[in-house]
Structure 1
Amino acid sequence: MLDSNKDIVLDELNKVFDTIDNSQVDQMVEMICGAKKVFFVGVGRVLLMLQAWEKRLNHLGIDAYYVGEINEPAITFDDILIVGSGSGESIFPLSIIKLAKKYGAQTIHIGSNSESSMKPYEDLFVRIPCQTKLYLKDEIHSDQIMSSLFEQSLLLLGDMVAMKIVQKKDIKDLHLLWKKHANLE
């Protein structure tokens, strides 16, 4: 049973990553590297995936925070907000992207619904065309539970973006990144 589930998950992930627009990802990397600070917002399991991105960016020397954490600084026009929302209709992330634009920050929405309520506030939309609660006709069907495919794809995209940042920053000695890793473990 585990082997057949593994095949389903990996097959679905391959379908997703075959459809993601590389130019959108490259533009996202440029925006991240050009920002003073990077903020993330999402809800539920999506937020957990984005917190992994936040941690990885901090390892790479990029100041990153998630909205609501205790040491979150003010967002400014020098910063970017990355929103994770498959449907683009979740109330809290939608409210936060509006606020980020009010303060002049650039915004990136990573989701499946290119026509969501977030569209007027996006500087960049990166599409992960996974099945959402909206069941849009051009989303990749998933046999997994609820939005698992979107969440998995979001996490893996974060690691792929981190690899692109390492290449862009020409970080040769990956062992040095451990200096920024938590050591009170």
Structure 2
Amino acid sequence: MNYRETTKIVIDECYLALSKVEEKQIDMLIDYLFNADKVFFIGVGRVKLELEAFAKRLAHLGIKTHIVGDINEPAMTDKDILVVGSGSGESLVPVAIAKKAKSVGGKIIHIGSNPHSSLAPITDLMVRIPVQTKLYLEDEISSNQPMSSLFEQSLLLLGDIVAKMIVERKQINLKSLWQYHANLE
């Protein structure tokens, strides 16, 4: 298979996955982001990288974001939310952190594929990207890509889609956003 054929497979899979996300869930996610004092993110591996990109983009939009475990992470309060990225909803560290966040009154948003995961009982909102996970659930979208690549790609794109929707809702001038971009580069 050549580059162009492979590109089409990956892009088509991402489009299919993102087209299956319920718009109501995205609207609720944006409402949570608008109403939170601080937004924390937890994920592991490649999912963490995608969440870091999402957090950075939200910071560019004036939302206070933090990655759990970073040296400058503040205390979470009941005015904050934790965004958990986990396709299966069973990754040990994110589940444990979510339980801790819930115990201090934080709201939990799970972006993942498994609606019946260990996170389900404590989740305030699930944004479901119904793609193939390590669990191979019956209603997941299958992928020709290795492991959970489709979930990770969809998560990255979802973050940028949400950011674009926030820009539109707040009628932010795109040129003005450069004031928030890193300038020690």
Q: Which residue is 1:81 aligned to?
A: 82
Q: Which residue is 2:138 aligned to?
A: 137
Give the aligned CA root-mean-square deviation in angstroms. 0.6
Q: Which runs of 4+ in 1 moved over 6 A?
A: none
Q: CA deviation at 1:110?
A: 0.4
Q: CA deviation at 1:168?
A: 1.9
Q: CA deviation at 1:111?
A: 0.3
Q: Which amino acid aligns with 1:104?
A: G
Instruction: Report how many residues are paired.
Output: 184
Alignment partners' CA distance in 2, 1:176 and 1:87: 38
Q: Which residue is 2:8 aligned to?
A: 7
Alignment partners' CA distance in 2, 1:178 and 1:170: 15
Q: CA deviation at 1:164?
A: 1.2
Q: TM-score, normalised by structure 1?
A: 0.98
Alignment partners' CA distance in 1, 2:139 and 2:175: 42
Q: Which residue is 1:115 aligned to?
A: 116
Whether 1:54 aligns to 2:40 is no
Q: Which residue is 2:177 aligned to?
A: 177
Q: CA deviation at 1:68?
A: 0.3
- 1:17-72 residue CA offsets vs partner (Å, 9 max, x unmatched): 12110000000000001101000000000000000011001100110011000110
5+ residue gaps in structure 1? none
- 1:97-127 residue CA offsets vs partner (Å, 9 max, x unmatched): 1011101011100000000000011000010
5+ residue gaps in structure 2? none
1:33–1:165 contact (8 Å) kept in structure 2 = no
Q: Which amino acid aligns with 1:95?
A: A
Q: Which amino acid aligns with 1:179?
A: Q
- 1:75-106 residue CA offsets vs partner (Å, 9 max, x unmatched): 10111000000000000000011011101011
1:111–1:126 contact (8 Å) kept in structure 2 = yes
Percent identity reads 57
